[in-house]
Structure formats: structure tokens, C-alpha cells
Structure 1
């Protein structure tokens, strides 16, 4: 009976996990339209947001398009950083999608004749951070304006091609939803420039088109690669029987599957992502992510982790003690363990050989060590009728186990045997893929995603990878790195208490970096020899905590809990990851494992797996202060049932709250002696993206849930004023976009900040309504927010456009001044120091030095205001007007004397000033009054 009940509970759990409230494409479209109106009426739309970089490590490229007639002009698409344009061979780039509704790109195409740009939104690489899109965008004016021309429910578009003989004929390959099944995927044709679309090839609702190429001599002949894949929070399946190559000879009217069981190309459940390259009407290449398991591999020297998976007791007891001791030492077992003790535990039955395998098996090991066949190259010389595998040996370390992240192949336009493939490395073959040479370099990142071969000079290559763009003029012997755009994909950021303070950030596949907060991006570092930003950790950079007693001890690390304690000044590091004991169930760590320094004692560290761990000695040793705080996990190849966030109350030591990826929120008031589940009244099974205690009210808790991994894009945001007994929704007018982070203002409890997958928002009334930032700020995913208390600046970690910051004083000043009932409230005025250079020409330039009085103010309405500048005796020196939008405004008033005022009048009032090169007189040193709307604002020129 108990077994039956357990089975029923397990099935019910799976069903509850699989329940989804998918957000429809129509709902997103309506939300976008409402969002546009919100932007126009936002009271913070004029607040300037400052980008501080970094750019040196760049970010993930998904596509490149180069002008074939002028290869110094090209466009670069970044996965979540928008579309960038250069006309000077990458010396500088300009973003041309900042005014669009998304920065997420899978592929794009340029009609170089007309200038039309088609952007397929939503990255197709299918990783855990591959954001969806909103269909196809089109621009006819190089990005000044964008129009959504349809296919909104594709989510992820993998390829766009334009008929070279008819630029109104567009063909699109869509891979479709990542986290759910859907119908709008496959091949789509438009014959009117995107006004209408027709689906020409559809397989099923979890198989979509991942690549598309056409015969360079006949556009009617096309090849499409279809890929069956599915992802949930706990599992990714990157292969299936529906993965195959299709061909059409009539422009898509009829498609035929050409990778059959007799074609020579693999078929079945192990067929993963396929990339295509075409040379002519006969020669086609395909690169396959073969997910079938390897057979008959040679034994690696020494004892390996996998050896213990199915090892018998007898085989274990026969292991050489010397080799076993070396294995124990290399793999960080408990210090007291040795071969003799371990064998005695196996002999007695206390442990099994498989426990050794389980002890060493974590998500990182599974990511790199799964023994699949991996990348394979196939060639057809008869238009795809038959295929032959080219590589005789395994292409080790090209894909590892994550070929879903790559999948491209290229053939030289003048040499049918010269091909390029890439994954982690980039490889070149001159014999159709039989042998390869690696052509990367020390200034070329790994993890490659696109390559352009100049058809007029095949020595010239342009390469896109996780580290941006590289150019070679000798077929990859040497490379230049083009890293001007700030397109870093940050997971997490933090700040210290240095002066000036440092900003730290962990990036997708680009490690952990730090820099002074007053850094700005410029080419000057090439002269100084040192970039503002310094790398302190490699891999995928994750969360950061800083011991602010000396700002020298930093806790950070890589994916799945592989964290370290760094001593920045000494350049040393120590592993601090908690580990289960041999024989216990392995701990489960989130991709971005949460870590927290206690605000009450910075020797105390909290660390989250599926349990909460605490260290009293900076991570040297750990104790568990909870049991499993998740729903227990679900078996799969992605760790699930893991903690995602931790916070400790500033009011009470040991009052801790945690959130998990499966929707649990637990609270302890006594350092873990007991825990209470406070998530019972919340939507179930959603990723807890953030849970934080208020800094102003000891019973208040803020919580955000994220449905991205269920294709549920609603903004779930809550507050509790009774420690989680009850919850109140506070997402009000937030647009449809999952929430990643909520931050409470440190000075005013009514001010909240929220970062979503599509922008940054502020509430001045504790969540009753929200306003979007948009000035100099694209609609990019915000992953983290930190307030530096000493300067009251908000630091913003984006996943696609690096790091920004905002000065926050204006918001609390406005709330303090809002009770005065004035139409206009002056909040800040710049300090002005007199200079004889005002109005005079700059050396070797026709431009002059101009000076303005810069005022931050809040206006309760859109209005034109008249102003006067008066001297101390209220004599008029200048007058004019300025316009304000409702909300915060930055007004600039020239510091000049009204030209209508006569010299006689100026002499009479005692004002002395010479005429400058620009024929203006400027205010001299003294005290002045700005009069606006019957209010006097005094200022000085010093």
C-alpha cells in the first residue's frame, strides 16, 4: 500500500511540475503596445543611465553579416545584446536596435541592395540562458525604426535567407519554443517582404528548423536541417528521431527527407543538432551533434571516476593501493581517508564502489564527461542523396556533451575541400574533414557561433564567439579582436566599500571581473597598457561576496557551486565548496549557486545547495543548518531542486530566508534549528528568483518568482508584512516579462527597483505602480541590482549590455519635496566654477567652450516654463523658456547674458563681462537667482 501511495504521489508531483500557464504571443503583443504607452508616460524616462562597461571581454555573438562589396562594413548580432553596425572594420560599432522591443537575436539577414534588415529574434542555441524573441523585425532605415512583421510565436529563429533574385522573397527557419511544444516552427516563406507568411515545412510540435541553406546557382534548391529537442527545468533532450535533413527543388512547395536509413547519415534517437554548408549543386556538408554513446573507447591511464560506476566489490579490492591513494588525493576526499580505510569500508559493506562514483559526480562532471560520440562531419557529392562520414577519429572536445550550443559548418567558396567547424575550438580542414588543425589563438575566445569567409579573398575571415568578434587575414594564423561594444552577459554583480568603490561581476562564459566604478570605456587603455577591468576568475562567472573589512577577500566561483575564497592582493585562492560525505546522497547545486556573507559577522558564510550550509571560518569548514529545503528534485541531466537565493535579516542574526528553483520559500528565526515553509499561498513550482528582507521593517519580505522556464512571462512580485504568513501582489502595471531581481531603496522604504527580462523599473509607492527607465537604456535582461550605500548609486547588471549605474538621490529628494504642492520641484543643481574659456574657441577647432546651468527637477505636468536669471539685487540678466515632461527632467540653461541687454544697462547694475569668441557675454563670479514658476533657486558661480 505504501509503495502505491508513493507512486501516486510521484506521478502527481510530475503532473504538477508540468502544468504551465503559457503566455500567448497575442498577450505579449498587447503587453508590448501597453509598454510603449508606459514608456511615453514614465516619470523616469528622462533619467540618464550611465554604462560603465566592460567591453574588453565582449559577449556571445549569434550571427555576422558582412557587406560583400565593402567588407569593412558589417553587422554583428549578440545573443541578448542587440544588433551592432560598423563601417570601419570594427574600430567602432553603433547599436541599432536600442529602440526595439527586444535585444534577443537568433539570426538576421541584410539585403545590401535596398538596405533592408530582417532580424529573427530569440537565440537558437538552446542553452539555459537562450532568451526567446518576439518574431521577425524589419528595418528600412538602418535601425531608426523597427516593425514587427510576424511569426511572433516562433520564440527562437535560427536562420533567415533572402532570395538574391527577388528581395521580397524571404525564407525563415524557426526552431520554435525551447521550454514547451508549439506549432509555429519549421520553414516559412514570404513573397512580399514579410507582410504575409506561409509555413512550407512542419514536422511536429517539438521539432523545428535549425539551419537552412540554398544552392548558390539555384535558389529553388534548398536544404533544411530539423532538430528535435526539448528542455525543462530539470532535463534537456538534444536529439531525437525527428532530427533530419530535408530538401526542396521547387522553392519549398515540396520537401523531401533525404537522411534516410539507407543514405549513410545517422538516424534515430541519437541524432542531435545539424549544421549545413553548401558548395554547389552536388557538394553539401553537414556537421552533426551525435548523441549516441561511444563504443569501445581506449582505457585512460590511471583510475577514473567512471570506473567505479559499475565496479564490483571484487574488482575494487584488487585495485593497486598506490594508484588508489593518488586518486583519493587528486579528487579531494576527506583528509583522513586512504586506500586501506576505503577498502575496509567496501569490504564491510558500509560503502559500495558506486558510492565513490556518486561522490565525485556533479553537474559539472556530467557536463564535460558524458561519453557521447559528439561532433561528426558528413559529406554528400550527389545533392544529398547519399552521405559519407569524413572524420575517422572522434572529434574530441569540439562539442563535449553540449553540442546543442554550437552546430555550424562552413565551406570555402573557392575550394570544395576546405571546411571550417567549431564548437569549443575552431578547426580547419583542407581534405573535406578527414583531418583538422586548430586555428584559434590566445586572443580568440572559445565557444564559436558564426564565421564569414570573404568570397573575394578567402584568407579573410570574420569570426563570432562568446568573446565577441575576431578578424583574420591569413586563414586563422593570426587574429585581431574587436571588443568595442559593451555586451557582457552578467549573471551577478556586487560592490565593495573602497574609495572609489569597485564593481564586481560574474559573466556567462567570461569569468569574474572587477573595476573601479568610475571606469568608462575608451581606447585609452591601449596606451596605458592596462584595461580598467581585471579578470579574477575564469569559466562561467557566478555570484560574488566581498569581505568589506578590507575589500581584499572575495568569495566567487564557477557554475554548479564550484566557488573559491580569493585573496586579491596575494593572488591566491582556496576551494570552499561544501561536499557531502562518502556514502551520502550527492548535494544538488544550482547553475548560479547562492552565497551570502552574514551582515552580522563577515567570518560567517551561507551557501546553498539543496540544503543551506553555514561556515564560521570563511568557508574552511561547513555545517548543514537544514535538511533538503526543496521538493526533492526530479531525475534529469540538469540539477533541479536547488536553492537559488539566500538572505539574512539586518535586524536579527539567524533570521534567514531562502528560495528554491522549484518554488519553495523557507524561513528560519533561529539559525536553522527549525524552518517554516512560507510559500504555500503563492503560485506553485515557479523559480524563486529573489527573496529579500526589508531594511526598514523587520517583518517585511519581498519576493519575485520567475516563470521563464515554463514559458510563463507574467511578472510575479509579492510583499509580506508578517514574515510570509500572507502575501500581497505588487506587480501592478508591470509588462509581461519575468522578474529576476527586486531591490529596496536604502533610504526610503517606499522606493523599489525591479529588473526583468526586458528592462528596469521603479516604484515610488511600494509597488502600487511602476515606471520604466528608457533614456540611453535598451530593453535588455536585468539579472542583478546592487545599491552602493556610500554613494547611493544603483549598479545594474544586465545580461547582454554589461553594467550601468544610476544616482538615486533624486528619487528620495522628490518624495521629500512632493508635499509642497508646487508644479515644479527643484532637486539638484550643478556646481559651477568660472573659467575665462567660456565661449572661446578650442585650440585647433571652430567649436567653443559652452557652459550651462544644469538642473534636475520634477514637474507634475508637461509644460513650458518661463525663467529669469537675476543678480543678487534681482536685476534681470537673462530670460527664456524650457519644456518639461511630466516626471523627472534634466534642464540645461545657458550661462549667458541676454544679448538684448545694453552695455549701458549692464554698467548701471554693476555687471562686468567681456565678449567671448561666440559673441556672448557669460555670467561672472557671484551669486545669482533662477526664477521659475514663482520659485527662486539660488546658485553661485565660484
Structure 2
């Protein structure tokens, strides 16, 4: 949200061709090291501007067009707006089906966990960057509680003023956030509008409005809500420009919807829901519905970029309607709360007349001073280069305050305004590089620029209602904060805030960390061998290449594209030969250079760049033809027709790593051309149009077989991956390689694609909603990994080292890694027969007998081992997949293990009297390790089965040990539960320390992987009520359910072998077991007798 309910911004911008600030460079300067234009940080100084009138607005428009084309939005071809949410729902079903597969190594590999690697944030001195922030909302009484929405990074919450961030909606059907609104009368209720409402074709469309209850604590998420009373979808495919909540009635909200496909300027409106102002009168209910307020203008299908309400008189609603022909502008209603929303009337009170067919937008901010009869509204507009308007009579009339071009030259993209909640003359304004952020103390007559250090391109300002000195700012560089009324700002972009929008990724041939990747508006970034990030070049970063001959991490030949534009006479890329060298431009920068022609008829904004074999690697670059360089870009030769197809840009290049003469080229219109002999005339490889005519996102030649190749497409509603196995035939046959039915890829763009060089049957696809894997050459696909947000994945690469990792570039959440080594084998606890299911089992103290019911065949097993004074410690010490019967003898500190393989035993000393045995697999070798927790010193002693002893101080007097694998890396983590305050402290081996308050004195700790993501969830059983409460490891939300009663003994385990912990209890009064299996229904079985100890209860504390 751009403000609290009374702080709403009105932006107005025109898509007009305006001149930017030009700094001419000579060709020789451009060929040398080049940085950024000081006045235009987005734009690297790489072309001779004296030869071009290409400005910043043209640049942003072409970038927007590039994203639209990349996502299948071509020539008004609007994709099905329901395709993406339908794909997410299908993915959820596929994940369920995957989780139900019987235990196997293949299943384990699919269940490996994704790990974010950043950049979080992008280093930039004392003002680090992240990614585009669109909406901000601040709690009405607590300035430290703030909600932030990113362009494709989802929703974040901070409860401490931005020191720490929590992602709240990573699994939502859309991660594109357009608006956030906090209910003024019920501030624990937050509404989140999806779909980015910017004039930008990389604006992802939305699915409606989510509601979050208990937003500052447990964050219970409902939605998306997108239906009217007739059950018709009125929001999917659109963006939500603004949400306004009634000042005193949390049931009433207003929402403005905009074009969503390809941003607010998207022209494909006929197949999508009608845009406009919608009102809900049951927003706080279980199933909110919306009614369109049809009284707005004659055009009933107009984008509403912003809304404002009089906080004292909510019948007064101000709206910006984007309508051409002089009827767009500011509209006002004085009966917005009419009983029938369709009867509310609106009057045009300030028209925005355009000299072109461009659409115009406005953003508002409002305040109702206590001493005034009417509310004061401000409007910041891009009209005529940037104006500020003011109304002091409740929006009835407007007066221009300034006309200072504050947002030139990109008013259509970034502009924001906010007012001090107690001082109607204190105004905040943000725009383009002319004024990133400024403040006024005289009602907008003049402004002081205060944006030093802040990333350009501002989109949102929010002033804390309870502390006017606290101001939050959202830009293309992330989230910033001022505590002195915008006199200065600090960056809140930190290790917990992921919003970077990557275009591509490339990795080093031998170093597992060394990576470069281009980002939208935040340059090209470098992940060093030490695991730290650096921004190594500016501008809009694109695709990248690292020469695979690099023998060290210093002398590395790297390449990356900037933006490309024939209208800007710019086509080329940058290269450097060492990590400390300057970048050198290769190509046409306004005059001929390096053999790339300035007169090529077409080139994509993000032009494709690829490498081939050889030393140095050959480099290929695509405009409307294919260029090749064998000398690191110093010279280029055209190696295709010129052009391949008239007026059509090359969109993908695939070169065989085995043979530089094997080349395939994909075009933006779906054409596929290639050669297997190095011919300079490429052959049409799909003359019969077997592959649909959509944007070819990737063209890949199998690294182990020159006859096999793949293409993937960026398109909605169609299967997107095709394969040929006879590439060298001259007329290859293409077959669908997207799977079918429940084993198919989702019908959304597959922007990233890679073949595993170690196994040509293993494929990975980066889709609009995540990553899929095929283990059989594309015949079937399944969602790959756990813990990845539903974010678009634009590129993939496989790292060197052991274990190898799949590294992905997401467009909104930075980069992620997942191990391609065999994922940790998930073993069910107390599994005595080796079928990966927990067995019902008891220990009878008097005779020292162990009894277990074999889940594999229904038979029973029994053995005598131990005495009534021993402490039982059954785990799989030998690593054969079966739990070994074992005990620890406190009087001697000896451990005794009965091998499951042959029922022979061994014993060894480890510990002393008073120690608490805590056996588990701490070193990840699939063998249980003897371990003790010493309460007297709060020290852990672990005898690693792989060798060595680990000694760790962790805990305090009275703590209970609760070891488990909380981070999903296959290793048990030390952890304690502190009963008094109900605190859990976990030292995760890969994810660091976590501490949460969850439970109370008297609760029993029952941690386990209840959600099936490979990570143990913090959980407790409350004996007094029989309730189980689980804190999800994915997002730290919780769920609770009753299972059991007073006197029951909790015995958690995986009783159906699906990889998820099941709630279960043993009832001593009847010796009956009850297990609520997640896939096989409730199990009820009598087993045991009075006085028996339930074995699965042994590690419950």
C-alpha cells in the first residue's frame, strides 16, 4: 500500500516521448571501461548519444515490451488469466501425489530443500539494494509494524521497524503485490491486492485480494477473493491499484482494478474481467464478494490506479480513472456508501488531457485536519512532466501547487506522494532521478530533495500514522526508512528481504560459488568464491556467460548483456578477462563496432548471449541474425541469414558443447533454425510448425548427444517443451516433451531449461511458478524440491563441486540453490522392520522385554534386552534402515546396542550418571550417533559415527533437549525447550539459530515433519486438552487439532510411511494405540498391557 487509509497517492503519467538527460561519449570511451550516467543510474553509458534521440522513457518502454514478449503477450495476444493460478493449484496436487509416492531415492531427491543464496542485499556501500517495492502499509498505532509488497517478491512483514523481515505469502497464487491496506478499526486485519499496477510489461498479473487475520502474529491468510455475488471472477488477470478500508467498518472495502497483463498499459482487455472500482460489504466474512460501482464515467472498463477516502466522511471517495479522450483524470463520489454500490455516482472533477493517445494515471494522498470542515487531498501527476495538485474542499476542486517536471522523463513508471498524518502542509513527493524523494513544508509549493543514497525509481511512500517522523519509501532498489521526516534515509534491505529480479545466471567450471547474473534495474551481480555478493556493473543486467576454460577464480573471462535497442542504435554486450578488470563493450553503440551491425532490423531488449566450445569459448549473440566471435568479441562474423526472418528477433541460442558447428536458434515468433555442419545458412528445423508459434525462451543441445535438442517456450495455456532426437537429419522430428496429465509441466512459460550433463535423461525446467524435474527425458515431470516460493524462474545452471547444485535465477526472489546429490534419506523413527513406517512398540520394564508390531506384515517381534532402570535409546545405529534396540545405563554411562541385522550386541562408554541420552543422526551419514545432554552444565556431547566427538554448550538449567532435523539437511540439530516461558531454541546446522515462543509449562514436545517438507516442525501436545499444535517450518504459521484426551501418552511417528509425522497417542488405561495417519486414515490397535512403556514416546520431553 502506498499509504495508510488517509494517506493515498495520486500519480499521473503519460507515455510521451520525452528527452532524457544525455551525456555524449565518444566511441573510444564507450569501448573502454563504462559505468552509469550520473543522472540516469539505470542506463549505462555505452552508446554515442550524439547519434541517437533514444531517452530514458524509450528505454523503459522497450524494457516493458521485452517482458511482455518474453511472457507470451505478443501483438495483443492475451493469455488466459486463469492459467497461472490453475498451474499453481495443479502444482499443489502434484506435490501431494509426489509426497504419497513410496519411499525411494528418486522420491528423496525430489524432496530436497531449496536454499536462498541472495543477493540479500545487493551491496551498495551504506545503502544496499534489493528489488522493486510497489506497496507499503504501516500499522496505525505502531510505527514499527510495516508490511511491504514487492513486484514479484511477495509480501513481507516487519514488527521491529525493518530490522527483521518475515515473508508471509510465498505460496500465494500470485507474488506480484499491487496494494496493501490495514483496517483502521481492526488493524490486525490486512488486505493484500495482487497484480502489479504499473505501466510496465514485466508487471505480473494478479488473482484478486487476500486477507490476513492476526497479521502481526500468526498471520492467518485467506483468499484470494475475486468473485462477485454471481460467482463470476472479477479480478484474476488484473492488477489491484489500491484498496481502501472503511475507517470504522472493517466489512467495507473499496478496490480499484487495473489492466494486469503486461502492466497497466496492457491493451488486451477484451478477454479479461471488467476493470473499475469494486466494493465489498462483507470483506471480513468467510467468503467476501464484490460489486462493481458502475457509476464511474461512461467507460465502464477503465483502470483505476488509485483511490482515496475522506477519513471523516467515507461517502467521499476520490478515484483516478485511466481513460483517453479527455475523460480520464480525478473522479469524485459523495455517496460511495450507497446501499446499492451500483447507484453510487461519480463526477469528473479534474480532467487530464493528453496530446497523444497515451493513458494517464494519478495517485492521491489525503488528510482531514480536525479543525477543517473538509478533507485535504493532494494529487501527484505526470501530466505535463510532473505536477502537484491540491484540494482543500474534499476533492471538489483542485489547484496546481507546482509544475516542476519532478518526474521527468519517466512519470509513466515511478511517482509517489504522501502527506503527514497530522500536518496538512507537510507533503512527501517522489519521482524519477530528478527527485527520488523530497519533502515540502508549504503544502507542495516547493520541495527539498532528500534522496541521497536512495536507489532511483520510487513507487511508494508511507508515513507512520502514529509517528509522522517515520517515513518508509519503496523504489526499484527495495525498501528504505527515515526517522527524521524524510530528511535522510537508511536502507532496510537486509539478509531477510529477497526481492531481486534476475534475468540470467552463469556459473564457473570448477568453483561452486563463483556466479554472475543480470538483474532488472540493479546491474550485473557477482557471487564470489567466498560466498559474498558484489554489484560489478550497473544498468539493466541481462544474460551472462562465463568461459568454461577458467582454471582459477581470478583469470576468468566473463560476459554480460545490457539492454539492446535498434531504435537506440545499441546492440552488443560487455566482457572482462579477470575479476578486477574493467568491462569492455563489444558491438554497435551508435557506430559500427566489432562487426555487429547497427542497421539490423530487430533485437530484443534482453538479447540472447551464448557460448560454444573452444579455448577461448566461442561467443554467440543474436539480433535478427546470429553473430559468432572466436576472439572474446573483438570481431564478429554473421553465421546465419541476414536476417533469419525479416523483422523477427533471435530469442534463444543453443550451441553443442561437443561441436561448435551444431547450432540451433529460436525466434521470438516461434521459428526454429539451425545447422549441424556450421553452415552460414541456417535450415528451418520446423517447417511443418509442429512446435507452436510462441516465443522460444530456450534452445538447448544435449551436452552428450549432438542429435538431441530441446526448445522451451514462454507462453500460457500450451505445453511448452519439445524435443528432437534426430537433429542432424536435416528435417528433425519434434515431439512433445512436457509430460501428460498429472505428470505434465504446468501450462505456463518455461523460461529456463537445462539438461544435466551427468545424465542426459535428467532435465530441469524453470517455469512461471517454480522448478520441475524430469528423470526420463521429458516423458514425465514432477515439482522439484521443497521450500521454493511460487516465483517465476528465468534461468538455471548446475554448479561444479561436490555436491553439485542446481542454481536458479528467479524474477523476484533472488537466487536459490538445491543439492543434486542424493537428498537426505528420510527414515521413519521406531521402524524395527525396515519398511519406513513407525511400528507400534512397547517396553515391559520388569522382564526387560521389547515388543513391536511389524507394520510390514502384521507380525510381532519380541526380544529381552535391558532392565527397568535403563534409559531406552532405540535408533538406527548401524545404518541398515532398521531401528536398533538399544539402551543407556545411567549407573555406568554405558550404551548397549542390539544390531537389527543379526541380533548381536555391542557396548561402549559415553556419558555419566545424570546425563540425558539424546541419540540421533547428527553427522548426516544415516547412522544414529550416541549423544548425551548434561543438564548440570547444559553441554551436548555427540559421538559422531563418522568419527570424532562434538562438544557444544547450548541451553540452561531446566531446559529439555529436543534434537531433530529442523533445516532439512539430513543432520539432527541441537535444540532445547524451555518450559517456563515456552521457548524453543534451535541451533540449525545450515540455517543458523532460531528461537520462538511456542507452548507453555505442562506441554509435551513432539517435534516432527508434519508438513512433509523435509524439515522437522516445532510442535507440542497439551495433555490437559488433548490438542496438538504444530508450527510450520515453511513459514512459521501454525495449525492445531484435537487428538487424544487427558491421560493419553503422545507417540508421534510416521505410521503410514509418507514422509510426514502423524499425531498418535497410546492410551494406558486400555493399552490401545490411536494414530491419525495423514494418508491412510485413523489407525486403532490394541497392543500392550498395564505398566508397559510406549517406545515412540521415549523422546517426548
Taking structure 2 as the reference length, the TM-score comes to 0.62
1:734 aligns with 2:763: no
1:486 aligns with 2:503: no
- Of the candidates 700, 704, 725, which is equivalent to residue 692 of structure 1? 700
Please name the residue that 1:419 is paired with. Answer: 427
- Of the candidates 802, 806, 817, which is equivalent to residue 794 of structure 1? 806
1:148 aligns with 2:213: no
CA deviation after TM superposition for structure 1 residue 667, in Å:
0.6
1:35 aligns with 2:128: no
| Contact 1:613/1:623, CA 8 A, preserved across alignment | yes
| Contact 1:500/1:518, CA 8 A, preserved across alignment | no
Please name the residue that 2:345 is paired with. Answer: 255
Superposed, 1:299-338 pairs within 5 Å as none
1:552 aligns with 2:546: no
| Contact 2:502/2:809, CA 8 A, preserved across alignment | yes
Closer/same/farther in 2, CA of residues 612 and 264 from structure 1, 3 Å limit: closer
Superposed, 1:54-93 pairs within 5 Å as 54-56=119-121, 57-93=129-165
Measure, in 1, the Cα distance between the counterparts of 2:200 and 2:392: 33
Please name the residue that 2:292 is paired with. Answer: 199
Superposed, 1:151-300 pairs within 5 Å as 151-178=234-261, 179=266, 180-181=268-269, 182-193=272-283, 195-201=288-294, 204=299, 207-228=302-323, 241=326, 243-251=328-336, 253-259=343-349, 269-280=357-368, 281=374, 283-290=376-383
Question: Which moves more between the two structures, 676-685 or 245-254?
Answer: 676-685
Measure, in 2, the Cα distance between the counterparts of 1:927 and 1:626: 53
1:459 aligns with 2:554: no
1:511 aligns with 2:523: yes
| Contact 1:417/1:432, CA 8 A, preserved across alignment | yes
Please name the residue that 1:934 is paired with. Answer: none
Secondary structure class of the residue paired with 1:577? strand
Secondary structure class of the residue paired with 1:786? strand
Secondary structure class of the residue paired with 2:912? coil
CA deviation after TM superposition for structure 1 residue 812, in Å:
14
Please name the residue that 1:898 is paired with. Answer: 887
CA deviation after TM superposition for structure 1 residue 266, in Å:
6.2
| Contact 1:895/1:923, CA 8 A, preserved across alignment | no
Superposed, 1:660-671 pairs within 5 Å as 660-671=667-678
Superposed, 1:470-485 pairs within 5 Å as 470-484=480-494, 485=497
Superposed, 1:374-413 pairs within 5 Å as 374-395=385-406, 398-400=407-409, 402-413=410-421
- Of the candidates 575, 580, 584, which is equivalent to residue 574 of structure 1? 584
Measure, in 2, the Cα distance between the counterparts of 1:658 and 1:430: 58
Deviations 1:827-864 (A, max 9, x none): xxxxxxxxxxxxxxxxxxxxxxxxxxxxxxxxxx9999
TM-align CA RMSD? 4.0
Measure, in 2, the Cα distance between the counterparts of 1:435 and 1:864: 85
Question: Which moves more between the two structures, 273-282 or 792-801?
Answer: 273-282
Measure, in 2, the Cα distance between the counterparts of 1:278 and 1:563: 47
- Of the candidates 653, 665, 669, which is equivalent to residue 658 of structure 1? 665
Measure, in 2, the Cα distance between the counterparts of 1:862 and 1:614: 65
Closer/same/farther in 2, CA of residues 909 and 729 from structure 1, 3 Å limit: closer
CA deviation after TM superposition for structure 1 residue 513, in Å:
1.2
Deviations 1:94-132 (A, max 9, x none): 111123233221112223626222221111113132111
Measure, in 2, the Cα distance between the counterparts of 1:611 and 1:744: 25
| Contact 1:689/1:740, CA 8 A, preserved across alignment | yes
Secondary structure class of the residue paired with 1:258? strand
Measure, in 1, the Cα distance between the counterparts of 2:345 and 2:862: 71
CA deviation after TM superposition for structure 1 residue 482, in Å:
0.8
Measure, in 2, the Cα distance between the counterparts of 1:59 and 1:172: 25
Closer/same/farther in 2, CA of residues 415 and 141 from structure 1, 3 Å limit: closer
Please name the residue that 2:830 is paired with. Answer: none
CA deviation after TM superposition for structure 1 residue 692, in Å:
0.6
Deviations 1:13-53 (A, max 9, x none): xxx9647473253x655544433221212246631111111
CA deviation after TM superposition for structure 1 residue 515, in Å:
1.8
Deviations 1:247-271 (A, max 9, x none): 11111532324246xx687687355
Measure, in 1, the Cα distance between the counterparts of 2:913 and 2:815: 40
Deviations 1:158-197 (A, max 9, x none): 1111112110111111103334213331111110116211
- Of the candidates 725, 732, 735, which is equivalent to residue 725 of structure 1? 732
Closer/same/farther in 2, CA of residues 382 and 114 from structure 1, 3 Å limit: closer
Measure, in 1, the Cα distance between the counterparts of 2:408 and 2:660: 47
Please name the residue that 1:360 is paired with. Answer: none
Closer/same/farther in 2, CA of residues 475 and 751 from structure 1, 3 Å limit: same
Measure, in 2, the Cα distance between the counterparts of 1:387 and 1:905: 84
| Contact 1:110/1:116, CA 8 A, preserved across alignment | yes
Gaps of 5+ in 2: 1-72, 99-106, 122-128, 227-233, 369-373, 565-570, 827-833, 838-855, 866-870, 898-904, 929-943, 949-1101
- Of the candidates 780, 785, 788, which is equivalent to residue 777 of structure 1? 788
Measure, in 1, the Cα distance between the counterparts of 2:789 and 2:737: 24
* Higher fraction of helix: 1
Measure, in 1, the Cα distance between the counterparts of 2:800 and 2:391: 63
Please name the residue that 1:307 is paired with. Answer: none
CA deviation after TM superposition for structure 1 residue 459, in Å:
2.6
Please name the residue that 1:704 is paired with. Answer: 712
Measure, in 2, the Cα distance between the counterparts of 1:105 and 1:924: 42
Closer/same/farther in 2, CA of residues 405 and 17 from structure 1, 3 Å limit: closer
Measure, in 1, the Cα distance between the counterparts of 2:356 and 2:923: 84
Closer/same/farther in 2, CA of residues 922 and 689 from structure 1, 3 Å limit: closer
| Contact 2:875/2:919, CA 8 A, preserved across alignment | no
| Contact 1:241/1:270, CA 8 A, preserved across alignment | no
Deviations 1:555-592 (A, max 9, x none): 11422245221244443121112468679735533121
Deviations 1:388-426 (A, max 9, x none): 43334433xx241x4332243222333333322222222
Gaps of 5+ in 1: 1-15, 229-238, 291-372, 520-531, 634-640, 815-821, 826-860, 871-875, 883-889, 932-937
Measure, in 2, the Cα distance between the counterparts of 1:736 and 1:727: 19
Please name the residue that 2:681 is paired with. Answer: 674
Secondary structure class of the residue paired with 2:816? strand
Question: Which moves more between the two structures, 758-767 or 175-184?
Answer: 175-184
Secondary structure class of the residue paired with 1:40? helix
Closer/same/farther in 2, CA of residues 748 and 867 from structure 1, 3 Å limit: farther
1:109 aligns with 2:166: no
CA deviation after TM superposition for structure 1 residue 147, in Å:
2.4
Measure, in 2, the Cα distance between the counterparts of 1:781 and 1:18: 22
| Contact 1:927/1:939, CA 8 A, preserved across alignment | no
Residues paired across the two proteins, number: 745
Deviations 1:587-608 (A, max 9, x none): 5331212112322232532111
Closer/same/farther in 2, CA of residues 805 and 28 from structure 1, 3 Å limit: closer
Please name the residue that 2:10 is paired with. Answer: none
Please name the residue that 1:496 is paired with. Answer: 508
Question: Which moves more between the two structures, 678-687 or 104-113?
Answer: 678-687
Measure, in 2, the Cα distance between the counterparts of 1:699 and 1:379: 67
| Contact 1:747/1:812, CA 8 A, preserved across alignment | no
Please name the residue that 1:542 is paired with. Answer: 542
| Contact 1:271/1:289, CA 8 A, preserved across alignment | no
CA deviation after TM superposition for structure 1 residue 715, in Å:
4.3
Measure, in 1, the Cα distance between the counterparts of 2:722 and 2:792: 20
Please name the residue that 1:914 is paired with. Answer: 911
Secondary structure class of the residue paired with 1:644? strand
Please name the residue that 1:313 is paired with. Answer: none
Closer/same/farther in 2, CA of residues 435 and 265 from structure 1, 3 Å limit: farther
